[in-house]
Amino acid sequence: MLTETFDINTEPMISPEAFYGVRKKVCDICIITFSDVVVEAIRTKFACTRIAEIGSVNGGRPIWLMTYKGRKIAFYMTMVSSSAAGTCLEEARCLTGAGSYIMFGSCGALDREITAGKIIVPTHAYRDEGLSYHYAPPADYITMKNAGKVSAWLEEMGIPHAEGRTWTTDAIYRETKGNMDKRKAEGCIAVEMECAGVQAVCDFRGLALYSYLISGDLLDCEEWDARILGDEEEKNHQLKNFYIALEMALKLPV
């Protein structure tokens, strides 16, 4: 059964180091984005060095290094879903040596009253995916350990935000109304595909994850409302949120 796949008694068959070798530490902090528009915009504005590449048969994903207000910060565009994003993080850990990861991306809002016009800070993630069960003991939810810090930083920056549980699912086209109602009844205010899995990887590897979400579409309605999902406005929101991530990176200890 899926809930019986967490195995800490035997060693994994392969590791990132088996592919890339043991690397020297490059930096302490890495920002994870899901937007190619963000990557290209930041590369245009800042002096960025390509320091590594997350390899894949689908094509490589470069890891870039920049300096922001005196701090060296890596960033890369991850793949979508817990399994893919978690694997990218495993390899980024090997390639950069970073111990802290700031991840932001789009989500579906489940409560328009709570989330309207606000950044969403997930406090717990419902584990409706597969990756986390290989990195953490079985449970319905995983705690997003640094939610309090993310909220405090947003408060300091004067940015409206809302805290709440999120529903991590692999099945974007099977987010049924019945399941949505169950998650809402438990306090979930958003649905996305990565938080539970990536948090589990970070917990297992002793890494720190700081995560926040941008509402891209709305499920809290009679019919699905695409809102800004995929349009130019969302791209602008994603870029603005990269700058928020940069400011958060300055608040992390050296």
Q: pLDDT (tens digit, 9 = 90+) per residue, 19-50? A: 899 999 999 999 999 999 999 999 999 999 99
Confidence bin at 253 (pLDDT 50/70/90): confident
Q: What is the mean pLDDT of residues 56-77?
A: 95
Judge whether 30 and 75 are in contact, CB under 8 Å. yes
Query: What would the two tokens of residue 98 be?
Result: 């970073």
Q: pLDDT (tens digit, 9 = 90+) per residue, 5-15? A: 899 999 999 99
Q: pLDDT (tens digit, 9 = 90+) per residue, 133-169? A: 999 999 999 999 999 999 999 999 999 999 999 999 9
Q: Of 113, 107, 126, 105, which is closest to residue 221 (Cα–Cα)?
A: 113
Q: Which domains does the chain have, with CATH numbers?
A: 26-249 (3.40.50.1580)
Residue 229 has pLDDT above 70, yes or no: no
Considering the entire predicted model, what is its pTM? Answer: 0.93
Using CA atoms, how far residue 11 sits from 6, 14, 85, 97, 100, in Å, is 12, 9, 22, 21, 25
Q: What is the mean pLDDT of residues 48-53?
A: 97
